[in-house]
Amino acid sequence: MATTKQTTFSSNLGVIMAAVGSAVGLGNIWRFPYTCGKYGGGAFLIVYLCFVFLLGATLMMSEFVIGRRTQHTPVKAFQSLHPKRAWGAVGLLGLITSFFILSQYLVLSGWTTNYVWDAITGTLASLGTDAGNISNYFAAFSTSGSRPVITLIVFSIICLVIILCGVQKGIENVSKVLMPFLVLLVLVLCVRSLTLPGAGKGLEYLFSPDFSKLTGEGVLAALGQALFSLSVGMGVMIVYGSYMPLNDNIFKTAMWITACDTLIAVLAGVAIFPAVFSCGFDPAGGPGLVFCVLPNVFNTMGGAGVIFSTLFFLLLVVAAMTSAISLLEALTAALHEHTSMGRTFSAVLFFLLSTALGVLFAMSVGPLSHITVGHAHLTLFDFVDRLNSIYLPPICSLLTIIFFGWFMTEKDVKDELSNHGTVKIGYYRLFRLLSRYVAPLALLLVLITGIF
């Protein structure tokens, strides 16, 4: 079935680094901690872990199988595995989702890039420890229009350059350097946070299970977060699967990626909450936790605060960059495969399109906030945030897993998981159960609850 193709990652380590790079992103460091805190700490964590290891890892393995088996990008991958070409629509939906996520991601990444600059130049430090001051600063910055747009463009240009360097020289090499650096940064921040007086309260908030706070909405959020965090349901892992060396063990690779992604999310919580509690701030800061509460926390640390805030926002930029690259790569590779356009042209085209849409979303927080969608009068940014977190990834994941579980031949699946019979697949029956029944039913249930 597989045809030989030029582009691959050079080694298993390269695959793991690039895929962990895609998985570890703003979802881990910006969204996971505040979502976990909001929905009952340890209680949310238990549900999240179940979703991640049972559903998320199953989906990741399925996407790797689909990608590596076919050596194609999503649309062609689905089409080549089934005579009904309409299945290609699932791949297309995944790519559309990737495009929307990338455009929204660029906005947040632009904010983060701006904060790195503000941390280095001492602007954040000059705001002092007045919570109002810092929130006003964030509000003024994010609604200003010009600076969010400039930093967004700077960030996207860096991503484009990495993509243009190629899969091995660009994505793989950058991930191999940035991922260990990211782990180091998060560990340094954890040590700092844990050695602050009263840090224990933050750990308690994060880990002690409060089941009374774990609502149905919390369970939904846990699933959405699990899919988003593992970068599944958008075709990205299908593309990365197609770059995976043929002798890599798909199960082991997926487990490593899932474990690393989860560990980094938890470590981000450990780096953030003890510091927030120690400095007496509100841990339920929601999405603003990172941009409004943390600068305050850093400013209470005196001179060292400048170093730690720079490190923290750098961590966030690094995490965001390897994720944005994976999204841009999926789109680039797909267009390149489907048309006669070269890789460079495809990358530049999607860079331009996603940056333009990103600019529109960035402006919708400020100068264009009067443009709203639906009865709830959501700004374009909030609308796309909802689309990206509640609807699109679960829908794409559901369709992907139904295809994988019910429409792919058992031979294709077994052959690919076992590397043509050379690797043991003792987990196969459990995996089949998960991919045919548990994952589709759970996703369907969550989607129906989410929509109604």
Interacting residue ranges for ligand PHE, rule: CB under 6 A: 22-23, 25-28, 101, 228-229, 231, 234, 236, 323, 326-327
Give the residues across from 209 on adjacent strands.
41
Q: Which of 137, 119, 28 has the alpha carbon at shortest distance from 305?
A: 119
Q: Give whichever of 296 and 322 is closer to ligand PHE, judged by the CB atom.
A: 322
Euclidean distance between the first and the last CA atom of the chain, given in angstroms as a whole number: 42
On whether the CB atoms of residues 164 and 347 are closer than 8 A, the answer is: yes
Least distance (Å) between residue 230 CB and ligand PHE? 6
Q: Give whichever of 26 and 318 is closer to ligand PHE, judged by the CB atom.
A: 26
Q: For the purposes of burial, counting CB atoms within 10 Å of the CB of 341, is it exposed (0-12), middle (13-18) or buried (19 or more)?
A: middle
**CA Rg, the chain, in Å?**
21
Q: Give whichever of 204 and 382 is closer to ligand PHE, judged by the CB atom.
A: 382
Q: Which of 262, 310, 260 has the alpha carbon at shortest distance from 121?
A: 310
Rounded CA separation 225/37 (Å): 13
Q: Give whichever of 231 and 400 is closer to ligand PHE, judged by the CB atom.
A: 231
On whether the CB atoms of residues 230 and 60 are closer than 8 A, the answer is: yes
Least distance (Å) between residue 103 CB and ligand PHE? 12
Least distance (Å) between residue 85 CB and ligand PHE? 25
DSSP result, 427-452: THHHHHHIIIIIHHHHHHHHHHHHH-
Handedness of CA 252, 257, 260, 265 (dihedral sign): negative
Distance (Å) of CA 366 to CA 10, 357, 359: 44, 15, 11
Q: Give whichever of 114 and 326 is closer to ligand PHE, judged by the CB atom.
A: 326
On whether the CB atoms of residues 321 and 178 are closer than 8 A, the answer is: yes
Q: Which secondary-structure segment (H or E) carries 254?
A: helix 250-278
Rounded CA separation 163/408 (Å): 31
Least distance (Å) between residue 59 CB and ligand PHE? 12
Q: Give whichever of 131 and 263 is closer to ligand PHE, judged by the CB atom.
A: 263
Q: Give whichever of 32 and 205 is closer to ligand PHE, judged by the CB atom.
A: 32
Rounded CA separation 418/186 (Å): 35
Least distance (Å) between residue 306 CB and ligand PHE? 26
**Helical H runs in 10-168?**
12-23, 26, 32-38, 42-50, 57-70, 74-81, 88-120, 131-142, 146-164
Q: Give whichever of 41 and 235 is closer to ligand PHE, judged by the CB atom.
A: 235
Least distance (Å) between residue 74 CB and ligand PHE? 12
* Residues listed for the chain: 452
Q: Give whichever of 14 and 27 is closer to ligand PHE, judged by the CB atom.
A: 27
Rounded CA separation 176/169 (Å): 10
